[in-house]
């Protein structure tokens, strides 16, 4: 029942984005979860994804509520639709914040051991 997020974070450190797959219903599951939110299956395995995606929605943070991020604004937070059928989170980097649009194609990139997204 315990959520195995170590595998996820370890892969991030290697520069690899892993997304769970439910062995019972074959659906992909993300963010990492201890059980499949759809069928309840408890056997979830991590598998790599293509790293492609599109911006589902975003916000440009001009005033951060995370102390260690103050002074680093503006930065872009976004939910990214992956073709594997799940949604991932991250910053959109590598372009000015004002260029980010809903629907914009992006690719995963890694910074600070975290998956981030840059224009494709």
Query: Which of the ranges 17-25, 43-51, 78-86 carries the binding residues for other proteins, by CB under 8 A?
Result: 78-86
Residues 46, 51, 56, 62: is their CA dihedral positive or negative? positive
How many residues bind other proteins (CB under 8 A)? The answer is: 31
Task: Give the three-state DSSP class for 5.
Answer: coil
- Residue 70 C-beta: closest distance to other proteins, Å: 9
Q: Does 75 bind other proteins (CB under 8 A)?
A: yes
Distance CA 11, CA 18 (A): 7
11 counts as binding other proteins under rule CB under 8 A: no
Question: Do the Cβ atoms of 115 and 89 come closer than 8 Å?
Answer: no
SS3 87: strand
Binding site for other proteins (CB under 8 A): 5, 30-32, 37, 56-66, 69, 72, 75, 77-79, 86-87, 89-91, 102, 112, 114, 116
């Amino acid at each position: 029942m315990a959520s195995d997020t170590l595998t996820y974070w370890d892969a991030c450190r290697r520069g690899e984005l892993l997304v769970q797959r439910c062995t019972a219903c074959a659906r992909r599951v993300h963010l990492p979860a201890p059980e499949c939110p759809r069928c309840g299956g408890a056997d979830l395995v991590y598998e790599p994804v293509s790293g492609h995606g599109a911006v589902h929605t975003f916000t440009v943070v001009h005033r951060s509520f995370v102390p260690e991020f103050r002074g680093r604004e503006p930065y872009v937070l976004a939910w990214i639709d992956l073709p594997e059928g799940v949604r991932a989170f991250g910053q959109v980097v590598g372009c000015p914040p004002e260029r980010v649009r809903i629907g914009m194609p992006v690719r995963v990139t890694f910074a600070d051991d975290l998956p981030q997204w840059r224009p494709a």
